[in-house]
Amino acid sequence: MNAKNRGETLIQVLLNDPEAFEEKEQAYDLLQAYSHGFPLETLRPLLRSQDRLVQHAAAYVVSELGRHAREVVDDVIPLLDTDDRYLRYNAMEVITDCCDGPDADKFVSVIRMLQDSDDELRVLAMRLMSNADESQLEAGARFFSTQSQHDEQHARGLSALLGGDEADPGEVPAMINDSDPLIRKYGAIAATRLLKTRPDLFAQVLASTDPEVRKMGEQVKFIKRL
């Protein structure tokens, strides 16, 4: 069975019985169909579905496709406005993978997640920003420096991230220990981005009294096997 026929069959199975589809872990099979050329546009109605299990399957597929999912990223962004952590988590990863360069303005939605009500997603936003492309950070800096969206904390934090190795050597430690939780997050992100040249800063992240800062550091340590 070719990718088109396989994909169409799997989507019909998903729509007919989302619970059985999830139990049988058939989202992986659907991913394989897309990986072999099944048109990405067929994901759009699944991402917009009123059935959360259907959306879950589609979100899994786009997150696994990574940068190859650029074509449907505008259908992924609205998932951030749901109350479903799984959908929002995957949407953040897809936006980070797909929205750089000319689409970098869309990455602002991930930056905003630093202040989300969900602590797991705040930590994820920190980790994603620690690997963000410079174009994504520049887009954020432009956004938060406009008159209508001006935000001193975000502007300061993004400026520090864009400064990189040329930033004031005392600025990042001060941010990690700042009284403002958002500035502490930016300090942790900056320290993580400087991990190769300033491992001492990352050590401060791991030793932070802020549980979210420390948790992000521990996740990075595990992922990088430090």
DSSP codes, 157-184: HHHHHHHGGGS-TTHHHHHHT-SSHHHH
Q: What is the pLDDT of residues 13-59, one digit of tens each?
A: 999 999 999 999 999 999 999 999 999 999 999 999 999 999 999 99
Q: Cβ of 13: how many Cβ atoms within 10 Å? A: 16
- Given this model, what pLDDT does residue 10 score? 96
Per the structure block, which two tokens stand in for 122?
């705040």
The C-alpha atoms of residue 99 and residue 73 are separated, in whole angstroms, by 8
The C-alpha atoms of residue 106 and residue 213 are separated, in whole angstroms, by 25
Question: From the CA atom positions of the chain, what is the Rg in Å?
Answer: 19
Specify the 3-state DSSP secondary structure of 210: coil
Q: What is the pLDDT of residues 194-223, one digit of tens each?
A: 999 999 999 999 999 999 999 999 999 999
Residue keyed to tokens 């521990």: 218
> For the whole model, what pTM was predicted?
0.94
Give me the domains of the chain, ranges plus CATH numbers: 3-98 (1.25.10), 134-224 (no CATH)
Q: Is the pLDDT of residue 147 over 70?
A: no
Residue keyed to tokens 């040249």: 197
Q: What is the pLDDT of residues 166-189, one digit of tens each?
A: 777 789 999 999 999 999 999 999
